[in-house]
Structure 1
Amino acid sequence: MTAVDVRSTSGAAARPFHDANGIETLGNGRYAAELGPLWTVGTKAHGGLLLVLLAEAGLAGIDAEVPGSAPDPLSVAADFLRAPDLGPVELDTEVLKVGRTASVVSVRMTQGGRAMLAATVTAGRLPDDEPRWADLPELSAEPPEDATDPGVAGLAGSCELKFDTPPFAFARGEQGPPVLRGWVRPRGEPVDVLFALLAGDILPPVVFNLGGRVGWAPTVQLTALLRARPAPGWLRVESRSRAVANPWFDEDVTVIDAAGRLVCQARQLALSPLVR
């Protein structure tokens, strides 16, 4: 195997995101990755990290087709067929189109010969210009002093993560609207477009605020749009649901960088953990 970007997931990680999102080329559009313990929900790999690996494999597949193209991810649309366990996975790519503005590649993640995720990655060039128009949620550029700090529990051990306290109702044993907000940035490394992609799935499921069981809410389909390269600093994240009808709920996530620019939009369909 020829290394594309091999990163160890053993031991304490000084750069947890960098150390978790490497892939290796196996040739003929195939890549390998290791799902380690740094980004998990319970015993399963975090969905945001899985999207990052799909994007990396897709971009590598396009770059292999057109050497030196080094495209940016524009969108990742993934169907979560099964939840992979920690350990090795393979990613098979097929470039469907190479274009001057947008290229498209299909990516399938397998583990032990079984399909885990199937995705389409669209790649091109992210804009550098300021947006002509934007309508974004209002969140301060940095977490306020009264932001809820989860410490190093769960995903907060792999990144710096703070929650907006007022809407964080379920943590107080209360109920509220299915809306959550927070701030996130990598530990020990600068924020980049792949971390912005991961941030689109960083907050807890918004249905926790509605009461009932708090637990794993499996993603069924997730589509993320990348809109710009993030400026250094905290990413601001808002997640909300438009409709909850057991067993299904949706989440719309907006990710804004420290400069106030939209960097990622994510929408997912998931299974609710609420008692039915």
Structure 2
Amino acid sequence: MTTTGTATAPFRRAIAIDDLGDGRFGAELGPHWTVGPKAHGGLLMVLLAQAGLARLAADAPGAAPDPLAVAADFLRAPDPGPVELTTEVLKLGRTVSVVQVRMSQGGKAMLAATVTGGTLPDAEPHYADLPDLPADPPADAFDPGSQEKAVFGLSSSCDLRFDQASMPFARREQGPPVVRGWTRPRDEPTDVLFAMLAGDILPPTVFNVTGRFGWAPTVQLTALLRAKPAPGWLRVESRSRTVAGTWFDEDATVVDAAGRLVCQARQLALAPLTD
């Protein structure tokens, strides 16, 4: 299995899994889908979903469930390299099915999650309260991939743009814990799995509050998928409700090019202690 930041359809290649039998799957964490030296949390969520959905499809032949929710505890931070995903079906149902997925690396547990599968709605919503962001990034949006040394390794594998007005930390200033941006995959359609990844793609909102930079490890992350996205850019807004001690929360809202909510993500994370 090869994972590269420059090959055709890099997202699809990065989330490929191998069926090892007995409900086990193998995957390779590539060097590009990272934040610093560690594997990107959004990509790990997608791999958990991939394994869970593959197990559900195997146990119910003919079914092709959509991801409805993924709730994951981040026990350790895996490095680039091989991982194994072990699955156990908790429920097979007509409307909702649930499978438990564990990710391990080098014999150690890395993540533990439940993946809920079903059918995503395609009807227009009765009500929606969504962030006010243009469908496409404006000309002055910051492209992290344009930097000679990108902090976000994944900016070499997908298109990213950040709203500079919502990133005072980049100017060594402080401001409210709200960050906005846009993202889309390269050389492939925008799908629901990429929408899940987008729920964890922006810089930590806590940077705006503390003025500190560094690794902000996720402790728990839950993604709710709400619809299959339309082609084009995904617009993302992430905000914290409380920053207290070393802990902060983030709520991310992902809206597709048609103005429809496609993913909600909430996480609990640890703030960087030093720059």
Provide the residue aligned with 1:96 in structure 2.
90
- Candidates 34, 46, 51, aligned match of 1:40: 34
- Candidates 32, 38, 57, aligned match of 1:63: 57
2:196–2:223 CA contact under 8 A, matched in 1: yes
1:275 and 1:38 map into 2 onto residues whose CA distance is: 25
2:253 maps to amino acid: T
How far the C-alpha of 1:87 sits from its partner, in A, is 0.7
C-alpha RMSD over aligned residues: 1.3
2:268 aligned with 1:273: no
2:252 maps to amino acid: V
1:1-276 matches, cutoff 5 A: 7-10=1-4, 12-152=6-146, 153=150, 154=152, 155-275=154-274
1:274 and 1:149 map into 2 onto residues whose CA distance is: 27
Once the two structures are superposed, what CA deviation does each residue of 1:165-224 show, in whole Å capped at 9, x if it has no partner? Answer: 211111112111010000000111110000000000000000111133200000000000
1:16–1:38 CA contact under 8 A, matched in 2: no
2:174–2:211 CA contact under 8 A, matched in 1: no
The secondary structure found in structure 2 opposite 1:166 is: helix
Moved over 6 A (4+): none
The secondary structure found in structure 2 opposite 1:225 is: strand
2:6 maps to amino acid: A
2:213–2:274 CA contact under 8 A, matched in 1: no
The secondary structure found in structure 1 opposite 2:55 is: helix
1:237 and 1:262 map into 2 onto residues whose CA distance is: 10
How far the C-alpha of 1:151 sits from its partner, in A, is 2.6
- TM-score, L = length of structure 2: 0.95
1:181–1:238 CA contact under 8 A, matched in 2: yes
Once the two structures are superposed, what CA deviation does each residue of 1:216-258 show, in whole Å capped at 9, x if it has no partner? Answer: 0000000000000000000000000000012100000000000
Once the two structures are superposed, what CA deviation does each residue of 1:60-101 show, in whole Å capped at 9, x if it has no partner? Answer: 010010012010000000000000111110000001101111
1:205 and 1:246 map into 2 onto residues whose CA distance is: 15
2:217 and 2:211 map into 1 onto residues whose CA distance is: 16
Give the % identical residues. Answer: 73
1:172 and 1:194 map into 2 onto residues whose CA distance is: 33
1:20–1:38 CA contact under 8 A, matched in 2: no
1:18 and 1:122 map into 2 onto residues whose CA distance is: 21
2:6–2:156 CA contact under 8 A, matched in 1: no
How far the C-alpha of 1:275 sits from its partner, in A, is 4.4
1:231–1:258 CA contact under 8 A, matched in 2: yes
- TM-score, L = length of structure 1: 0.95
Alignment size in residue pairs: 270
1:67 maps to amino acid: P
The secondary structure found in structure 2 opposite 1:134 is: coil
| Unaligned residue ranges in structure 2 (runs of 5+) | none
2:5–2:156 CA contact under 8 A, matched in 1: no
